[in-house]
């Protein structure tokens, strides 16, 4: 039996999964990493810890594959986007913690830059000026970390998003490359010219020579050159949300998916031309195969599954995420409790980086079941805001939303989502579509798959969730949500 190995480096953990040709999981390994919060609004990861975890999960998955007599042909990498690492060219060692996409330490700078250059930057990158993206984080590292400044002076500095950093380490310092879906999220990449933009580099004061070469998503990126690992070709690299779009077989204009992990990300394939959003969404690159580039509109919710993690770890209302479905179903749903999960600000379509989370409408009769239900509903309401914005920008009425990610195992959430969005919600049999998308990219380059039709036939429906809430209740809930969310918008 043959398979493709996928490395999924996420916000909370790193996983390695071996898929067969049908897109089914043969074996896997996973390891969590620390979340570092030095100050309010600061979110960091130890990039060296992530690399060590990467080696562990790759070794574990490959050992299991060997036991099962699986021949692993190629490696694909997918990753948390925007998170940025500065590292030494000579060793690959990180010079400071990675600044995570959730980090908002550069909010003040971004607010000022938005006033002076916001339109210019969005026209070139498709992105609003926001601390979410890599550029302001990289600027902060260059200006505030002595080790980074020293490495720059010594001509020993490189930088990159997480896939770039891991490729550099896995290839034994041979390949300093990024793929187009990650490059376009830095806010330094011109999505029309498809190159690093010199004007933006000058604006952020970032030297071009520390940036990686940008390629398509299905390429010969390099070879694994680690003593404890076989010399696998690395042939796929793609940002996590674009990987999910690809893994969901959203290959045609108008196809849409929404992924629920730490955050929630809805993405609509808009075809071969970028579509400018008038609704606070992101114009981004969906994927590139050869010379064919597909663009997308994206809405990003910063907190989705992370709200359940917060209920578990901070409030200790639950012991495991699995409890939330039964708790939500036990809620009498009579109180107008609303949970706005703006722990790291609000993403699209609001873009309020200084917003804070809130729970409103509680009374003495409110229970933990009500709070859990409100947390799950909050994710559904934010998804509705994204989908309505996507419909307006694309001038399309959507009838179906494909969902994926670990959080969609919660059927209560998907039932409520169908009610609130008033459309069908489709959960596929394989919900690990992010890792699958990276495997598909590597498999295409290797020749494991001949074409996209080979991949499309793999997609299978697990369950379809249809709307069942009466229009009066639906309207009442949406009005209540708008009142709750508007308190966070200036």
C-alpha 104/C-alpha 38 separation (Å) is: 12
Provide the residue ranges of all domains of the chain, joining segments of one domain with +.
Answer: 2-241
442 φψ region: left (φ > 0), alpha (ψ -120 to 50), beta (else): alpha
C-alpha 157/C-alpha 412 separation (Å) is: 48
- Beta strand pairing call for 400-404 and 424-428: parallel
Tell me which residue of 164, 167, 78 sits closest to 439, measured CA to CA. Answer: 78
Tell me which residue of 72, 37, 46 sits closest to 448, measured CA to CA. Answer: 72
Phi, psi angle pair for 366, to nearest 5°:
-65, 135
Tell me which residue of 302, 242, 236 sits closest to 268, measured CA to CA. Answer: 242
CB atoms within 10 A of CB 220: 13
C-alpha 446/C-alpha 10 separation (Å) is: 24
- Beta strand pairing call for 177-179 and 13-19: unpaired
CA distances from 466 to 143, 196, 399, 417 (A): 52, 44, 10, 9
Q: Which residue is it, tokens 């249809």?
A: 466
State whether residue 97 is helix, strand or coil: coil
Evaluate whether 277 touches 389 at the Cβ level (below 8 Å). yes
CB atoms within 10 A of CB 456: 11
Tokens representing residue 376 in the block: 């799950």
CB atoms within 10 A of CB 263: 26
C-alpha 335/C-alpha 332 separation (Å) is: 8
* pLDDT in single tens digits along all 490 residues of the chain: 999 999 999 999 999 999 999 999 999 999 999 999 999 999 999 999 999 999 999 999 999 999 999 999 999 999 999 999 999 999 999 999 999 999 999 999 999 999 999 999 999 999 999 999 999 999 999 999 999 999 999 999 999 999 999 999 999 999 999 999 999 999 999 999 999 999 999 999 999 999 999 999 999 999 999 999 999 999 999 999 999 999 999 999 999 999 998 889 899 999 999 999 888 899 999 999 999 999 999 988 888 999 999 999 999 999 999 999 999 999 987 768 999 999 888 888 887 878 899 999 999 999 999 999 999 999 999 999 999 999 999 888 888 999 998 899 999 999 999 999 999 999 999 988 999 999 999 999 999 999 999 999 999 999 999 999 999 888 899 989 998 888 766 5
- Beta strand pairing call for 233-239 and 71-79: parallel
CB atoms within 10 A of CB 334: 9
E strands along 240-281, which residues? 256-260, 264-271
* CATH number for the domain formed by residue range(s) 2-241: 3.30.420.40
C-alpha 247/C-alpha 259 separation (Å) is: 11
């Amino acid at each position: 039996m043959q398979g493709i190995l996928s490395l999924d480096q996420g916000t909370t953990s790193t996983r390695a999964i071996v898929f067969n040709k049908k897109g089914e999981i043969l074996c896997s390994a996973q390891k969590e990493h620390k979340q570092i919060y030095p100050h309010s609004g600061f979110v960091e990861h130890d990039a060296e810890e992530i690399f060590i975890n990467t080696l562990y999960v790759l070794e574990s998955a490959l050992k299991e594959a060997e036991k099962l007599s699986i021949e692993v042909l190629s490696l694909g990498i997918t990753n948390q986007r925007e998170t940025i690492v500065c590292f030494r060219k000579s060793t690959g060692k990180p010079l400071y913690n990675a600044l995570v996409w959730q980090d908002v330490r550069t909010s003040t700078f971004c607010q000022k830059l938005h006033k002076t250059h916001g339109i210019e930057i969005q026209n070139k990158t498709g992105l609003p000026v926001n601390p979410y993206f890599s550029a302001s984080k990289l600027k902060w590292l260059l200006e505030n970390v002595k080790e980074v400044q020293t490495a720059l002076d010594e001509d020993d500095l490189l930088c990159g998003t997480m896939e770039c950093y891991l490729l550099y380490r896995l290839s034994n310092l041979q390949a300093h490359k990024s793929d187009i879906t990650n490059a376009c999220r830095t806010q330094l990449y011109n999505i029309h010219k498809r190159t690093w933009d010199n004007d933006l580099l000058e604006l952020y004061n970032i030297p071009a020579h520390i940036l990686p070469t940008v390629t398509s998503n299905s390429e010969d990126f390099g070879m694994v050159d680690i003593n404890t690992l076989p010399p696998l070709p690395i042939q796929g690299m793609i940002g996590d949300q674009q990987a999910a779009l690809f893994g969901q077989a959203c290959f045609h204009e108008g196809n849409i998916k929404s992924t629920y992990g730490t955050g929630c990300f809805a993405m609509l394939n808009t075809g071969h031309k970028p579509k400018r959003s008038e609704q606070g969404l992101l114009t981004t690159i969906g994927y590139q195969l050869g010379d064919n580039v597909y663009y997308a509109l994206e809405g990003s919710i910063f907190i989705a599954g992370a709200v359940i993690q917060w209920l578990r770890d901070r409030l200790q209302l639950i012991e495991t995420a699995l409890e939330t479905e039964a708790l939500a179903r036990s809620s009498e749903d009579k109180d107008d409790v609303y949970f706005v999960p703006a722990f790291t600000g609000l993403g699209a379509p609001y873009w309020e980086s200084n917003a804070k989370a809130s729970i409103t409408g509680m009374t003495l009769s409110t229970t933990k079941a009500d709070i859990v239900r409100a947390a799950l509903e909050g994710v559904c309401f934010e998804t509705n805001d994204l989908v309505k914005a996507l419909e307006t920008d694309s001038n399309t009425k959507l009838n179906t939303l494909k969902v994926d990610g670990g959080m969609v195992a919660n059927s209560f959430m998907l039932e409520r989502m169908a009610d609130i969005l008033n459309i069908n919600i489709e959960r596929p049999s394989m919900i690990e579509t992010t890792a699958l998308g990276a495997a598909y990219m590597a498999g295409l380059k290797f020749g494991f798959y001949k074409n996209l039709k080979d991949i499309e036939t793999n997609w299978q429906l697990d369950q379809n969730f249809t709307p069942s809430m009466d229009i009066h209740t639906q309207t009442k809930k949406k009005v209540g949500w708008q009142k709750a969310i508007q308190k966070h918008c200036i």
